[in-house]
Structure formats: structure tokens, C-alpha cells
Amino acid sequence: MAGRGAGQVKHVVSPFVGGQSVLAGNYFTSGVLERIKLATLNPGRTGLAALGSDDILWWRVWHIAHELVQQNVKICVLPGARFAPGAPLPPGFPFVWLGVRSASWASIGFFIAEELQFQVTLMEDVGSDIVLWLEVRQDVNTETPALMIGGIYPRPGGDLECWQQILTEFGILKARFPHALILILGDGNVHLSGLVDHNAGCRCLHCRPTKMDRDIGALIQAAGLVAYNPAIPTHSSGTIIDLVLASLSAPIEVSVCQTPVGLSDHELVTVTARLHSKPPTRIQLVGLNGSELPSGLRQ
């Protein structure tokens, strides 16, 4: 096992943190989270597997963290994370891990900026090893989430069953939290035809999708969701598979960071979510006997 002496930690850390404050970027107003930058990064074939020593794992996670901090990303979905049980994050790492601990590629997790960890909860009654849902509250005292984030990793080759699960759970959560913004990020392993504007006759996987890809695309559309990716490949194969989905009625701007991160063959894909405080619902204003609470008791 690799040693974890102070010298080695310094060696691993120093090329990437460069004196930056991890708290750079003011995204709170009056203590309430109003916008938050999210990302998805498939860390590549070996994921965050330790590859024989903590030093290599730590080099990779620092490389990823450096880019996330640079871009002010606060929550990053890691499809195919392969973050093994017991694998350590480096001392002083600015993100906490939330998700499945598994050496298997069929696993997913999140890096959560540590200052947000008490506002973010992993939902336990929905999801699986490859579909996880996070609730994000605007401040630590709020109970109802303002943002729900689905992290997804359907299997390569077109995973209709997983997509059905994602979209069913999206419907459930939309009904349960009608005021929350719901975004779905991850490696969708599907080639949606609407994402590119290629010449007629192009034979790429987006222009000539398989029946499976067409079926999944139809399900996404039927759920009222849209992949808002720009026409920029997210994988070294030239395809757009790392997706950000949101409701048709709530367009968002998605960016693709075209510098390699953490030795992955996938790009980092980012989006900024804007959260809106909702007025208290009617139910909260009405007393047990159905009468309006005195105005003095309203929050």
C-alpha cells in the first residue's frame, strides 16, 4: 500500500491546487442558494479505480477537482465512477463523495462541494446503482428541494430498461415535487438524432440511429424532456452521449469543456441551474381546522 506521508501528499496535490480558494465564486445570496453549476464527467474506462496505488487515484481525482474548482462546478455526476469501497480521497479534498461504492463499471456517484454537503441528500426510495437522484435544498433549514438531480449511466449499446426506469422515476419526482427544477445528467449511451445538424447522407450514429436509439429518443420526448447539449462531441468517438436533460418548458444552456480532464475519453459537460424560491404553498398557510393562520404566524 502506498504511504500517505506529508511529503507524498504535497507531491500529489501541489500541481493542481495552485493556491486557489475552493470557496471562490459567490453563488449564495443572503445564505440562499440561487444558482449552482453542475457537471457530468465519465472518468473513462478505468474510472476511479485505484490502479495499484492511492497516488494514481489521487492524481486523477485532483485533476478532476482542479477543473471543477476552476469552473466553479459544485456538483459533478460521475457515471462509471468505479470508486471502490474503502478507497480514500486525498486529505484536503474540496469535494465529498456521495453514491455507490463499487469497483464495477456499473456504478455512479457524485462529487459534492463540501460546503454544500448538508443541503444535498441522496434519495433512497428511488434509483439504483446506475441511476441516482439527489435532492438539493436552497438552504440547510429548507425541507423541500428546489432542485433534483438525476445522475445516470445506462449500459453501453442502448439500455432501454434503464431509460424506462429513469423516465418513470422522473415522472414520480415531478409529481412529488412540482416546484423543483429537475435535471438529468450523465452518460446516456444513446445517440439522439436531434443533437446534430449534419449533411444529408451522413452515416454517423446520430444521423443513422439504431432502432434502440430511436426507441429511447421517443421515450425521452414522450416524457417531456429534451437533451440540451450543443452539437459538440462529448466522447473521443465523435458522438454526443454525455447528456443534460431538462423539461421542454425549461430550456437550459449546456457547455462542453473540450480540454481533457482526468485522462478520460469523455469531456466534462456543464450547466448552470437557476433556482427560484417558491412562495409557501396554500397548505402551509392553512391551519388544521382549515382556517387561515393569522398573518403574524406566516413565515
Q: Give me the residues that bind Zn ion (CB under 5 A), please.
A: 198, 202, 204, 207
Q: Minimum distance from CB of 227 to Zn ion (Å)?
A: 16
User: Computed from CA positions of residues 137, 269, 106, 102, in that sequence, does the dihedral angle turn out positive or negative?
Assistant: negative
In terms of CB distance, is 172 or 231 closer to Zn ion? 231
In terms of CB distance, is 37 or 206 closer to Zn ion? 206
Cβ(113)–Cβ(94) below 8 Å? yes
In terms of CB distance, is 202 or 286 closer to Zn ion? 202
Q: Which of 152, 157, 155, 186 is nearest to 169 (CA)?
A: 152
In terms of CB distance, is 56 or 256 closer to Zn ion? 256
Q: Which three cell numbers stand for residue 132?
A: 441516482
Q: CA–CA separation, 279 vs 117, rounded Å?
A: 25
In terms of CB distance, is 35 or 198 closer to Zn ion? 198
Helical residues (DSSP H) of 103-257, grouped into ranges: 160-176, 211-222
Q: Minimum distance from CB of 201 to Zn ion (Å)?
A: 9
**What are the φ/ψ torsions at residue 270 (nearest 5 degrees)?**
-125, 160
Q: Minimum distance from CB of 203 to Zn ion (Å)?
A: 7
Q: CA–CA separation, 165 vs 173, rounded Å?
A: 12
Q: Minimum distance from CB of 196 to Zn ion (Å)?
A: 5
Q: How many CA atoms lie within 13 A of 143 on its CB side?
A: 2
**What one-character DSSP code corresponds to residue 5?**
-
In terms of CB distance, is 80 or 233 closer to Zn ion? 233
Q: Minimum distance from CB of 256 to Zn ion (Å)?
A: 17
Q: Minimum distance from CB of 231 to Zn ion (Å)?
A: 10
Helical residues (DSSP H) of 101-205, grouped into ranges: 160-176
In the chain, DSSP finds a helix count (H) and a strand count (E) of 5, 14
